Structure 1
């Protein structure tokens, strides 16, 4: 009896540690490849538009499936769903690590995204169940903090591994760490109670949205080689338009089983948050992707140095993400996201002079300002989106915003890559892409000022 309480406390810490490590691995894989892609391009003799799929495939699949992953976790048990997701993530990390072609690597990354979509919402639910009701609110904050750290150190880890071991170890390193998570999960996470599936998964919605976004990304890819006037490109853009319209039609008829239920889709405050999140997502991955590309291809930097080049952005991102959580109740969502979008617009405008400035040191102020804006924005927009819906929809609302940010980021990266590739010169192309992104950030600022209320109102 004497050892019982310490044992329970120890299991709590081990459980939280295991789940935190799982989220770290998933989030780290979004950014770890960014400084290593020039090395991957060289090995597989691929170009910029192909290599960006290493990030886009992972993000697109994860983003589109994350809401369904949350529903699967509620239906069949969080631990069970988590374990399946982790096994998928591990298996395809191994396949990606031994990939002999770019095609095999991209397929592996897509399936890793599917595993991540099962892991992410399951972890959030299990963290809440491990903590007491009094401390349950810490779970969301802990996950956001871990994601920020993982996104920040990802380029450093990826660059180091690509330079001193092999880029393949960005994937192989997932295996031993995932085994540790799996062992601790079986040991300290309580089994799921058997639930009867009472929800329906929106298979048609997921399939239509995935197909629509894939068609759009593929169109961006082909534009670089054959131009906008090609029939194939026109057909892909038309496919995106028709599939997306069909997705909206199907969602309208799916009612409560829809990917985005009617009561959430009809909430004006939530829709505003979603629109702003979608606009910001268009350039979220661009900074992580193009700054290392610029340092590597223009300045001849190694993968490690290219990863270190992101430190100002990552540092500001982490610090201001923490600040946002502490000032939310005092300043409110409207003021914070307005300041955040304005900072992002300014940072992107400063970075758009990359073509004229050349020297890295001149990019640092823009990176710091952009990172501060992203840090303030990310946690605030999720908190705001959750606060304006019915409390019973809080988890779903958060998952939908994640879906928009991740899948939208994949589309944005494809668009930015097309702009850079069509420019011919990488410096000039990045300058053009960042100029467009600055305008998108300013549009987001205007939407925030005009349509986000000073006080959150639930539907």
Structure 2
């Protein structure tokens, strides 16, 4: 690895670490933010979903803009947007201002994340690319592992605003070094699918808005019904648009491949279950068990640590035994783990610990296997586009998982007391269990390894 490659890999990994960290670091600070800004559960939900929704709908657009206008230029622009939005998050004195700033953060991340992968691909020849990607994904995984702990440590020792202030010096350093150490490159002069971006953004927003407002405004109210129906109609229009446009952001032909269709659908539910669990778990530790943010982050570590242990093992073994077994087995373990937590809802952490480890292991077994199955179903020249579509649907899974689990929580409980929160938490965990179980049933339809390869060769 030469100096230019080392700098490029280091800066791409640093940027990816920042973006991944900010999608998770707020989980252990939600209770503190709720108390400080007098936020409702619906508002807390938007602090998570505003970031992820903006990231999901603009992810593929960010990659196309980089190819057209220069990858380094758009990468730096994304870092700048993300950094400025982080400062705005830190300075927010109302929950509304925080939500808007989080959405802008997500837009910046959408310009950075896909181009961090593209920069690595441009810097490293194929024979070195696998090792470089492994280092990149390892650093990104570290953000997942440490995000809740870092959030708890900062909220406990300083204030929740510092989880965003820390992005300022890191972002400025990353911008300066990228401008000096990374060469400019461009890709194919691709067309931006603006119609697709508008339709999927408005459609997803409408459905999520309806789910968020259902309990407060009433599920039969004009506001909620209009939001759900209009959102669903726009998502259907998005599908028709993508089938007819010449440069679709989400090629519908991929869904004619059984491996891609089943793997992406199951993985959508993997992330729905993951984010639904993550949204409430740290709050449960603080509201019901009486923990502080730091202690809640520490209690989450056995769950997040499974990513570092099981994901690499599952990725390697899936090559040998096929992806379906790991997807079905992983989602079965998450079903058991989440169902265990819902059934027990104990004030004794040690009673929950085995369920956390079982569920975490299951999720991290299913994720790499799902990606392998989806990407392995397409032609080599389509891998980049399939990976982007897979990532976009994965993030959407997290958005809808949080939206639905919060709706279930708000219908059954609330924040008035530990007992009321516990009731809502139990219902939300049953919803999370249902996501995993349905995902497991869908994963049964994933072709085994040999059959997937035969399908690819047949085309």
TM-score (norm 1): 0.94
- The structural deviation recorded for 1:385 is 1.2
SS of the counterpart of 2:28?
A: coil
Moved over 3 A (4+): none
Greater displacement, 34-43 / 75-84: 75-84
Distance in 1 (alpha carbons) for counterparts of 2:410 and 2:104: 27
How many residues were matched structurally? Answer: 448
Pairs within 5 Å for 1:195-274:
198-255=189-246, 257-274=247-264
What is the CA-CA distance between 1:354 and the residue it aligns to? 4.1
1:358 aligns with 347
Partners of 2:36 and 2:344 lie apart in 1 by: 28
> 2:56 is matched with which residue: 41, 45, 63?
63
Distance 1:331 1:350 in 2: 28
Tell me if the contact between 1:224 and 1:418 (Cα under 8 Å) persists in the aligned partners. yes
Q: Offset at 1:11?
A: 3.2
Once residues 266 and 172 of structure 1 are traced to their aligned partners in structure 2, the CA distance between those partners, rounded to angstroms, is 46
Secondary structure in 2 matching 1:206: helix
Q: Indicate if the aligned counterparts of 1:37 and 1:51 stay in contact, CA closer than 8 A.
A: yes
- The aligned residue for residue 14 of structure 1 is 7
Alpha-carbon distance in 2 for matches of 1:430, 1:275: 25
Counterpart position of 1:322? 312
Cα offsets for 1:359-386 (capped at 9, x unmatched): 2211111110111111111122112211
- Unaligned runs of at least 5 residues, structure 1: 1-7
SS of 2:184's equivalent? Answer: coil
Looking at structure 2, the residues matched to 151 and 267 of structure 1 have their Cα atoms a distance apart, in angstroms, of 31
Deviation sequence 1:277-323 (CA, Å, 0-9, x none): 12222222122211111011112211111111211111112211121
| C-alpha separation in 2, matches of 1:67 and 1:446 | 29
| 11-20 or 200-209, which deviates more | 11-20
Task: Give the TM-score normalised by the residue count of structure 2.
Answer: 0.94
The 1-side partners of 2:177 and 2:292 are apart by 37
Q: SS state of the match for residue 310, structure 1?
A: helix
Shift of the 143–384 alpha-carbon distance from structure 1 to 2, 3 Å rule, reads farther
- Give the equivalent residue in structure 1 for 2:400: 411
| Alignment check: 8 A CA contact 1:64 1:210 kept | yes
Q: Which residue of 2 aligns with 1:393?
A: 382
Matched residue, 1:30: 23
CA shift, 1:102, in A, is 0.9
Query: Secondary structure in 1 aligned to 2:27?
Result: coil
The runs of 5 or more residues in structure 2 that have no matched partner are 414-419
